[in-house]
Amino acid sequence: MTRTRPNPWLLIPQPNPQASLRLFCFPYAGGGAVIFHKWPSFLPTEVEVCAIELPGRGTRIREAPLTQMTTLVQAVAQVLVPDLDIPFAFYGHSMGAVISFELARQLRREHGLTPVHLFVSGHRAPQIPDTDPPTYNLPEPEFIEELQRLNGTPVEVLENPELRRLIIPILRADLSVCQTYVYEADAPLATPMSAFGGLQDEDVTRDLIDAWRYQTTAPFSLRMLPGGHFFIQTAQPLLLEILSQDLIEILP
């Protein structure tokens, strides 16, 4: 497909008009498309990596971030359909895992489209409710304490007033997306699914990751990688090696 106009929702580090599969990548809360900037160098050349840039960050820093899962998924579905003209797969970490899952269900429901594979990581299966109290609406001191506990935001960012003013509204919005999300039961996907978890992730344990298997009638695999919740960064070489092997198997 030849793209006739830029899509602000997509950052494509290495455009590949000859790609036989597109891998759409969805970031964790507070993250942007830049997370996936180096991924094309480690994945099969037949794969075009398309990183999702959500409003409020990166090239879209001046846009208001979205705060509800349903609104976000509907918006992504609308803008992505033109790029789903060849086989495609989704990868999402943490918040991105649920976005990619709900997007797959939305595309099935509204467009009859299905990813050839769904990679979900760092998030409990969606049918398991979150029993923790919401944090997205905490007063700023308590909110910063929670961010420090999660250990996903660099200390130098939290200690810099100007950077805090930029990142905290994005994090509040993303956590609102996650913490106000309500799962609605539907038929399992017919999409093969690979789930990943961090061996040292105390909040998202193996059992919570393994429960993703009930969301598909197709083959399911579970891999636990070394590291905590952000193993997507600390164990990235191993993660990309596994993804590359899986993608080679599913390439058309």
Residue 155's pLDDT is 79
Indicate which CATH number applies to the domain containing 52: 3.40.50.1820
Token pair recorded at residue 182: 């309500």
Query: What are the residue numbers of the active site?
Result: 94
pLDDT in tens, the chain (252 residues): 445 557 899 999 999 999 999 999 999 999 999 999 999 999 999 999 999 999 999 889 999 999 999 999 999 999 999 999 999 999 999 999 999 999 999 999 999 999 999 999 999 999 999 988 889 988 988 888 888 877 767 777 777 888 888 888 999 999 999 999 999 999 999 999 999 999 999 999 999 999 999 999 999 999 999 999 999 999 999 999 999 999 999 997
153 lies in a domain? no
78 lies in a domain? yes
Token pair recorded at residue 60: 């879209």
111 lies in a domain? yes
Expressed in percent and rounded to 5, the helix, strand and coil fractions of the chain are 40, 15, 40
DSSP sequence for 32-57: -GGGGTTGGGGS-TTEEEEEE--TTS
149 lies in a domain? no
Whether the model clears a pTM of 0.75, i.e. scores above it, the answer is yes
23 lies in a domain? yes
177 lies in a domain? no
Alpha carbon 193 to its chain's center: 14
219 lies in a domain? yes
Enclosing domain of residue 220: 10-128+184-250
30-34: long-range contacts (C-beta < 8 A, 24 or more apart)? 30/152, 30/153, 30/167, 30/170, 30/171, 30/174, 31/57, 31/93, 31/96, 32/57, 32/58, 33/58, 34/58
60 lies in a domain? yes
Token pair recorded at residue 26: 């969805």
How many domains is the chain built from?
1
